[in-house]
Structure 1
Amino acid sequence: MDAHELAQQHCTPQKGAHKRLTGDTLATHLRSVPGWIEADNHISKDFQFADYAQVVAFVNQVAALAAAEDHHPDIMFGFNRVRVVFTTHSVRGVSINDLICAARIEAMRDL
């Protein structure tokens, strides 16, 4: 599934270890969202911006996406940088929802 296909989907409830993406399946999906990396049962990406106003605007866009999808990342930010971290607690790792949100963030940045 490519980034465009992922970005067209919406999050759905994911429960249980059988919904966790690992190994080759996760690696294949991660290739669809360049710059996102997997570590310790989550995916994350660091973003750089010219100034704080751009940081805040981006964080607000990610927060709106998270609210709409009911799938909430950890977001850390400073003067010109943002780190977004997704994990699905109910599967104790990465699920398709994390990748959908990553793809939607990438699509949002392409606008």
Structure 2
Amino acid sequence: MAKLLTDAEIHAKASGLSGWTIEGSKLQTTRKFKDFIAAIEFVNKLVEPAESLGHHPDIEISYNQVTITLTTHDAGGLTQNDFDLAETISQIS
């Protein structure tokens, strides 16, 4: 099981991520696209990185807006896995 990060570690790592916020024990970002099709195309680009890291985001789609929430469920909070995936997602357009 992945090790939970301390509050200090979480805030230090989050400060290096543009567009992400800490919401309780979760890391979250929302992206807006021109339409539903573009939003779904973005979500489809998340499949490969999530599978290769063995870590999967919670995804909410509302027409042209995609909200991604990361947490390590079995650890009960944020771990390095969440920040690794957030960095990868941040590079996807």
The TM-score with structure 1 as length reference comes to 0.77
Offset, 1:63: 2.2
1:65-104 maps to which residues of 2 (within 5 A)?
Answer: 65-104=49-88
Secondary structure of 1:77's aligned partner: strand
Amino acid at match of 2:49: L
Mapping 1:1-111, distance limit 5 Å: 14=2, 19-109=3-93
Structure 1 unaligned regions, length at least 5: 1-12
Deviation at 1:79, TM superposition (A): 1.3
Secondary structure, aligned partner of 2:92: helix
RMSD: 1.2
- Unpaired runs of at least 5, structure 2: none
Distance apart, 1:37 and its partner CA: 1.0
Q: Please state how far the C-alpha of 1:58 moved relative to its aligned partner.
A: 0.5
> What SS class does the counterpart of residue 81 from structure 2 fall into?
helix
